[in-house]
Amino acid sequence: MASVLDDVEPGGSVAVVRLRSLGDSVLTTPALRILKRARPDLRVAVMVEDRFRAVFEDQPDTDEILPPRLDALRRFRPALCVNLHGGTRSAWMTRASGARRRAGFGHYRMNWAYNLHIPRAQQILGVERTVHTAEHLASAMFWLGAPACEIPRASLGSAPRASSASSSSAAVLHPFAATPEKTWPAEGFRTVARHLERSGMEVVIIGGAGDDFTPFRAWRTMPGAPLGEVKELLAGAALFVGNDSGPAHMAAAFGLPVVAIFGASDPAIWGPWRTQSEVVARSGGGGIGAVSAEAVLEALARLGVRA
């Protein structure tokens, strides 16, 4: 029996609707790799907000990056439109894409927008456990007809900055997050930064333009750096330490050793994907603020970083 991908004509177009979220965008790239391996002849576009466009730039698995506008999607003329975002806007745009085949997760809201309803990842993968977000997104490609395979690491096309001679010894810290529940106290990161300096590493602090870098004035900071610059930094760095947030997934995509500090989120779903990593979380409650600096330093030691 022919699969959905078999039904797309040679050289046809497939649009993947992603829209937003840095971590989700990064974790979409394994699914794109699987799609392109299965059908290298297809022209694949990703629809994403401009602020996350750099995730998909310089990637062999993405032929075009579309702005989140219906006119742009319809001009691309997809034979197949796959919604990997799942929100109301993305469902509506998928429905109106003009694609003959419109796929989305059947257990999400607004599934009336699709004529192809992707089952839960557990059903596709034949497992009963909690699945990682990378597995969840990649499973959609298996259901559409890509051969089952090991789900690869996320991929970000970038090269380290030639002007940064010390980048190979840089430890990148991201001490910020979207919510207080996901933000480890600044003093903990300061303790980690001092420890890494004693280990002979250059410490670089990254974050958004609106983040408070005041506690980190003793170190090199990159407030509000464009995503492309963050990619270049991480591509040549040696280590990443940060909260459960998008930059941790970027670091994992470059294969960096990662220490990720978790609060309320489930590491089984959002932990660093396919890289050497340590997840540190407070056992028995207490929230992310109850994670001790000692626990993070012990995680660094397990990764081979000692003062």
Question: What is the Cα–Cα distance from 146 to 142, expressed in whole angstroms?
Answer: 5
Q: For 284, left (φ over 0), alpha (ψ -120 to 50), or beta?
A: left
Number of domains the chain contains:
2
Instruction: State mean pLDDT over 89-112.
Output: 95
Q: Is there a single domain that holds both residue 221 and residue 140? A: no
Q: What share of the chain is helix, strand, coil (3-state, %, to 5)?
A: 40, 20, 45
Q: Is there a single domain that holds both residue 203 and residue 269? A: yes
Q: Is there a single domain that holds both residue 122 and residue 171? A: no
Instruction: State mean pLDDT over 135-147.
Output: 98
Residue 307 lies in a domain: no
pLDDT surpasses 90 at 230: yes
Q: Which two tokens stand for residue 270?
A: 């959002």
For the stretch 266-270, contacts whose Cβ atoms lie closer than 8 Å and that sit 24 or more positions apart, written own/partner, are 266/130, 268/129, 268/130, 268/132, 269/130, 269/131, 269/132, 269/133, 270/23, 270/132, 270/133, 270/244
- Residue 163: pLDDT band with limits 50, 70, 90: very low
Residue 209 lies in a domain: yes
- Output the pTM of the full model: 0.95
Residue 40 lies in a domain: yes
* Closest to 155 (Cα-Cα) out of 241, 297, 35: 35
- Residue 88: pLDDT band with limits 50, 70, 90: very high
Domain span at 282: 167-302
Residue 159 lies in a domain: no
pLDDT surpasses 90 at 216: yes
Q: Is there a single domain that holds both residue 213 and residue 294? A: yes
Per-residue b/e over 32-56, b at no fewer than 16 CB within 10 Å?
A: bbbbbebbeebbbbbbbeeebbbbb
CA–CA distance from 243 to each of 70, 112, 159, 176, 274 (Å)? 34, 37, 24, 7, 17
Q: What is the pLDDT of residue 159?
A: 65
Q: Is there a single domain that holds both residue 123 and residue 206? A: no
Residue 281 lies in a domain: yes
Strands 220-223 and 116-118: unpaired
Q: Is there a single domain that holds both residue 237 and residue 289? A: yes
- Residue 166: pLDDT band with limits 50, 70, 90: very low
Question: What is the Cα–Cα distance from 85 to 94, expressed in whole angstroms?
Answer: 10
Domain endpoint, select from 144, 177, 198 = 144
CATH number assigned to the domain comprising residue 244: 3.40.50.2000
pLDDT surpasses 60 at 165: no
Q: Is there a single domain that holds both residue 202 and residue 275? A: yes
Q: Is there a single domain that holds both residue 37 and residue 93? A: yes
